[in-house]
Amino acid sequence: MEHGSFTDETKSTFSVADEDHTLANTLRYTLNQDPRVTFCGYSIPHPSDNRVNIRVQTTGDPAREVLKDACQNLMVVCQHVRNTFDKAVLDVKLTNPVRDINIK
Amino acid sequence: MSGKDKNLHNMSESESEQEGVDKEGIEWIMNLPDVPMKLPPHVELQRTRVECKADAPIHTDTIQYSGAFASMGFDNSLRLDNFRNNFKIEVIDLKEDDIEFDMIGIDPALANAFRRILISEVPTMAIEKVLFANNTSIVQDEVLAHRLGLVPIRVDPRLFKYSDKDAPNENNTIVFRLHACCERGKPRLTVTSKALTWLPNGSEFPLVSDKSVSNSKPKTYTSFSCSQNTLSKEFSNNPIGPKDSDIILARLGPGQEIELEAHAVKGMGKTHAKWSPVATAWYRMLPEVVLMEEIEDELAEELEKKCPVNVFDIEDIAGKKRATVARPRDCTLCRECIRGDAWEKRVALRRVKDHFIFKIESTGALPPEVLFTEAVKILEDKCERLIAELS
């Protein structure tokens, strides 16, 4: 759910249900790293509600698009982390076929 | 790269208007001798290291804002190609249930997201419903049910669905039976998780409310349409059961008996810790110990003795004893080595902000390396969900 204005798309608050610090904090990080963002922060309005509010203010682009780009960036980062991890594990498994070997 | 290009391009336009030079553009700007591309060393240190001082650590925050160092000509925005080049994973130790690896070049926001997901959002199967036919032991029903819930079950949760509102069937429920009896005149009997036997055909208890004609097969508490053995080859080769067979569930005195059925369903750690797939998942930043000056002879010996985990060694060079940092990874940052007069000036204790020593201890449902990839996938799914919601 987006809380913004029709006249000014550059600032909005996005209210995301069923999410917590896990997604909000990573998104805050990716958004803050985007040069188009002037302000970004999140809050959890009530601890017993499963909801976060993410505030995005930009230099000119629509906040919605910037947030979408941040999600996209985060996904690319995740994919890279996964591929790198899988490769690292595979390398270890190939060099040490027997488990319970301490590599240290 | 785009962020940097954009910023600098704007700058070059305004500058070129003033000076009337507009041919080489960005390249020319980047090659000017007075354009700093790196932060001055003291700021770089603050950006990348936490410094542990005798009283408290300093520079503990990570600077996330893309324009934080704009005035110094340093671009702090996220550039994916840069991330790709710098990100590294080194597996230190891989065992059946544990993994230790170094995750280098990532922000704590992401490392923490992975950790949080591992603990509370990667699903597993755990016993949720227990049907007691008989319990004359001194362990009360609810206590025993709770203990059963905490027993880790060795089964791949990806083969099952969440039961939500569906009736228990072969795709969302695993049924175990436990029948233990201590006969009179025998010594006390210890009931362990070994006694849980898997029922691939579902519940065997007839429904209490079932009043159908006795000829047909009586209805039970589950409605399996086929045996779980036929669902996956894995099940028939490797029957489902508790991960460890030596977990004590109860002790029975002579004449006491437990007869029950336990129904395991899929769930997540945020509902109840019994569904958490990890005993624990945690990370710490890599400790960095730097000797700010040569530490020799008596001082070197003093330093070696100060450290309770033997981070320092003594080198013998031409009769001179010199302290070296041999095992910085072992440092617990107890700050013993910077205690006392002037030691804070000789030794610098730091932590590398983007180097995480990550440890995952699996409870046994899935191997630890699979757990981590699952966690990363869950974060991707969250992003995908949000994108779908926004468009």
> What pLDDT score does B14 carry?
43
Residue A91 contacts residue B101 (beta carbons within 8 Å): no
A73 vs B contacts (CB less than 8 Å): 78, 80
Q: Can you read off the two tokens belonging to residue B227? A: 């045996």
B228/B93 Cα distance (integer angstroms): 35
Contacts across the A-B interface (CB distance below 8 Å):
136
Protein fold of B38-64+78-122+280-390: Gyrase A; domain 2 (3.30.1360)
Tens-place pLDDT, residues B18-61: 444 455 566 776 677 766 667 888 888 888 999 999 889 999 98
B305/B299 Cα distance (integer angstroms): 10
Short-list B384, B370, B358, B369, CA closest to B157: B370
Q: Give the nearest partner residue to B382 out of A19, A88, A100, using CB atoms.
A: A19
Question: A21 CB near a chain B CB, below 8 Å?
Answer: yes
| Within-domain flag for A32 | yes
Can you tell me the mean pLDDT for A23-33? 94
Domain-wise residue ranges, chain B: 38-64+78-122+280-390, 124-209+217-276
For the cut 70, the answer to whether the pLDDT of residue B9 exceeds it is no
B389/A63 Cα distance (integer angstroms): 14
B386/B96 Cα distance (integer angstroms): 35
Q: Write out the residue range of the structural domain in which residue A81 sits.
A: 2-95
Instruction: Supply angle C-alpha B332, B338, B340, rounded to 5.
Output: 135
> What pLDDT score does B35 carry?
64
Residue B154: exposed, middle, or buried by beta-carbon count in 10 A (0-12, 13-18, 19+)?
middle
Tens-place pLDDT, residues A67-83: 999 999 999 999 999 99
Can you tell me the mean pLDDT for B281-286? 95
Question: B169 CB near a chain A CB, below 8 Å?
Answer: no
Can you tell me the mean pLDDT for B147-175? 91
Can you tell me the mean pLDDT for B335-356? 91
Architecture of domain B124-209+217-276: Beta Complex (2.170)
Can you tell me the mean pLDDT for B150-156? 94
Average pLDDT score, chain B: 87
For the cut 50, the answer to whether the pLDDT of residue B17 exceeds it is no
Q: How far from chain centre, in Å, is Cα A53? A: 14
Short-list A38, A21, A37, CA closest to A69: A37
H or E element at residue B280: strand B278-291
What is the distance in angstroms between the Cα of B246 and the nearest Cα belonging to chain A?
21
The residue type of B250 is A
For the cut 60, the answer to whether the pLDDT of residue B213 exceeds it is no
The residues, ordered by sequence, that sit 6+ positions from B245 with a Cβ below 8 Å of its Cβ are B192, B193, B194
Question: B87 CB near a chain A CB, below 8 Å?
Answer: yes
Q: Can you read off the two tokens belonging to residue B117? A: 């997901």
Tens-place pLDDT, residues B181-192: 999 999 999 999
Can you tell me the mean pLDDT for B356-383? 95
- Provide Rg for chain B, Cα atoms: 31
Question: A83 CB near a chain B CB, below 8 Å?
Answer: no
Inter-chain touch B67–A21, beta carbons under 8 Å: no
Strand partners, B361: B98, B280
Residue reference for tokens 């030079």? B21
> What pLDDT score does A77 carry?
94
> What pLDDT score does B26 carry?
66
Residue reference for tokens 């079950």? B153
| Within-domain flag for A55 | yes
Q: What is the DSSP-derived secondary structure letter of residue B229?
A: G
B92 vs A contacts (CB less than 8 Å): 103-104
Inter-chain touch A96–B94, beta carbons under 8 Å: yes
User: Does the pTM of the predicted model rise above 0.95?
Assistant: no
Q: Is pLDDT larger for residue B39 or for residue B281?
A: B281
B117-126, B230-239, B347-356: segment of lowest average pLDDT: B230-239
Are B38-64+78-122+280-390 and B124-209+217-276 the same fold in CATH?
Answer: no
| Within-domain flag for A68 | yes
Query: For the domain that residue A23 is a member of, what is the CATH number?
Result: 3.30.1360.10
Q: Give the nearest partner residue to B382 out of A2, A23, A76, using CB atoms.
A: A23
A61 vs B contacts (CB less than 8 Å): none
Inter-chain touch A68–B387, beta carbons under 8 Å: yes
Question: B299 CB near a chain A CB, below 8 Å?
Answer: no
Tens-place pLDDT, residues B61-93: 888 888 888 887 777 777 788 888 899 999 999
pLDDT band at B214; cut points 50, 70, 90 = low
| Within-domain flag for A11 | yes
For the cut 90, the answer to whether the pLDDT of residue B219 exceeds it is no
For the cut 50, the answer to whether the pLDDT of residue B138 exceeds it is yes
The domain tally of chain A equals 1
Q: Can you read off the two tokens belonging to residue B320? A: 């001179």
A25 vs B contacts (CB less than 8 Å): 109, 112-113
Residue A34 contacts residue B66 (beta carbons within 8 Å): yes
For the cut 80, the answer to whether the pLDDT of residue B328 exceeds it is yes
> What pLDDT score does B296 carry?
86
B106/A85 Cα distance (integer angstroms): 13
Half-sphere exposure of B150 (CA within 13 A, CB side): 11
The residues, ordered by sequence, that sit 6+ positions from B386 with a Cβ below 8 Å of its Cβ are A16, A19, A23, A27, A67, A71
> What pLDDT score does B3 carry?
42
Can you tell me the mean pLDDT for A52-62? 93
Inter-chain touch A35–B3, beta carbons under 8 Å: yes
Whole-Å CA distances, A30 to A76, A101, B58, B78: 11, 38, 24, 7
Residue B8: exposed, middle, or buried by beta-carbon count in 10 A (0-12, 13-18, 19+)?
middle
| Within-domain flag for A103 | no
> What pLDDT score does B68 carry?
84
Tens-place pLDDT, residues B229-251: 888 777 877 889 999 999 999 99
| Within-domain flag for A70 | yes
